[in-house]
Structure 1
Amino acid sequence: MNLHLQGKRALITGSSSGLGEATARMLAAEGAAVVIHGRNGGRAEAVAAAIREGGGVATVALGDLATDEGAAEVARQASADGPVDILVNNAGFYRHLSWAEASPAEWSETYNVNVVSGVRMIQHLVPAMRERGWGRVVTIGGGLASQPMNTHPQYNATLAARHNLAVSLARELKGTGVTSNVVSPGAILVEATKELVTQIGPARGWGETWEEIQPNAVRALIPNDRERFGEPDEIAAAVAYLCGPHAAYVSGATIRVDGGLIRSAF
């Protein structure tokens, strides 16, 4: 399907690896000029170079979105070759902590990185989208926003905030031609997920090798109708749909891409 993204410029935050990288590659394949964002210049440039080698258009914007100055610099770099039409707020992080381990300082840092950083980019880039009468904001959320686990509560709460702010933004952008939506992944098989599951698998009796651990981890942690982890491209495809004209009537929505997740608990 042609998503008609030719001539559009997309900034994908946190796109030097993982879901962000997969999303950038897919948007570029659909004809968008993509801006790869990260804090490590070598990693970001490697992703951009690979996209260019495949015939796509990609540039790099470096900076720390957790500071006002860093976010402003990323917005400046992203707009250097033309206005940003699509903002994918993907950047974020988590630490696997218990309630006892997640200090107030950890809560504050996680909220700043996972929520306020996205707000900074919205405030920098969306006003110009509104003036032009077209734009897309896609926030990457997660199933833990509505089905939080007992662990890493500071992270669960920030996902709920990301979902909430995206809907509030959609209401704010009523009638402007700019939409705001959420893609909510389940457990996606990026390196961090595989590393965590591999680390805790043997102690939980799931096996010793990845081949043994994976099916048991799915049954224990993320029982779903598809009986597997998701793939990064499955998230990227949902984002790409929301960025195109076929999704012009989708506003304030949350698209779950989680295999029909039944529950999530450690």
Structure 2
Amino acid sequence: MQIDLSNRSAIVTGSTAGIGLAIATGLAKAGASVVITGRTQARVDEAIAAVRKVASDAKISGVAADLGTAEGGAALIAAVPQTDILVNNLGIFEPRDFFEIDDAEWSRFFDVNVISGVRLSRHYAKGMAERGWGRVQFISSESSIQTPPEMVHYGVTKTAQLAVSRGLAEVLAGTGVTVNAVLPGPTLSEGVSEFFGKIAKNEGKTQEQVEREFIQTHRPTSLIKRLLSVDEVANVSVFLASEEASGTTGASFRVDGGVARLIL
């Protein structure tokens, strides 16, 4: 299968690193005109340069804005009024004792992980429907279907993304716009790597040891017995953005290495 997105435009939120950057790179390699987003111009510029290192002819640009706020969302929409593909990847996570998570932190997680995607989908999906073609994705998590006790607030926001994704797919029935969710398992993104690196330093272990112990202790049901790479997640996102995925909407795709013990 040859995925060709040369006539399509895409926005990937939270794409200066990790899964978002891998998705932006994959879409650019498939020929799409991609907009990278991040909170600072310096980070956006670095990400654009990183994509061009592996895809010198990439059609790529960037917008610096804090999409966890209404002002940031408005800034992106003003700079890029329409797109064919919207990947709502922006997200934050932090292990935290449930009893120490106050109202403000719950609100912050919802603003960044849920409302940012709602806000952008409300604008961009309407234009997609009017044009008769579009792809909307929410990068959720396996934590959406098995809430992690070490960060309940994160899991709840990821579950909310699934509800938004399915509901929006219902709203857009028959328009030519598909809406799907991607559920990565534990993935070795820059943020996760940094997190494990700190643990390794504090415990006098190698990072590889910490990663293995995490899988054994916290995700023992993993069938691949390792963390995923960002490219493994991006590959699914790129497929869902393509014409070849035209028959798939309202669905949730697990890229979790078999962590969730489900048959659906």
TM-score bracket for this pair, using the shorter chain length = over 0.9
Question: Equivalent residue of 2:248, what SS?
Answer: coil
Question: Equivalent residue of 1:196, what SS?
Answer: helix
Q: How does 1:92-241 map to 2 (within 5 A)?
A: 92-200=91-199, 208-223=205-220, 224-241=222-239
Q: Match of 2:257?
A: 259
Question: Equivalent residue of 1:151, what SS?
Answer: helix
Does the Cα contact within 8 Å between 1:222 and 1:262 map onto a contact in 2?
A: no
1:39 aligns with 2:42: no
Question: Equivalent residue of 2:66, what SS?
Answer: coil
CA distance in 2, matches of 1:172, 1:197: 40
Are residues 123 and 198 of structure 1, via their aligned partners in 2, closer, same or farther at CA, if it must alter by over 3 Å?
A: same
| Runs of 5+ unmatched residues, structure 2 | none
Of all paired residues, the percent bearing the same amino acid is 37
Q: Match of 2:74?
A: 72
Does the Cα contact within 8 Å between 2:10 and 2:86 map onto a contact in 1?
A: yes
Question: Equivalent residue of 1:11, what SS?
Answer: strand
Q: CA deviation at 1:201?
A: 5.3
Deviations 1:55-95 (A, max 9, x none): 1100111212222222011122123xxx3100000001122
CA distance in 2, matches of 1:51, 1:219: 34
CA distance in 1, matches of 2:257, 2:51: 29
Q: Match of 2:48?
A: 48
Does the Cα contact within 8 Å between 1:186 and 1:230 map onto a contact in 2?
A: yes
- TM-score (normalised: structure 2): 0.93
Q: CA deviation at 1:199?
A: 3.5
| Aligned CA-pair RMSD | 1.7
Instruction: In structure 2, give the amino acid aligned to 1:212.
Output: Q
Instruction: In structure 1, give the amino acid aligned to 2:83.
Output: V
- TM-score (normalised: structure 1): 0.92
Q: CA deviation at 1:262?
A: 4.5
CA distance in 2, matches of 1:129, 1:19: 24
Are residues 219 and 201 of structure 1, via their aligned partners in 2, closer, same or farther at CA, if it must alter by over 3 Å?
A: farther
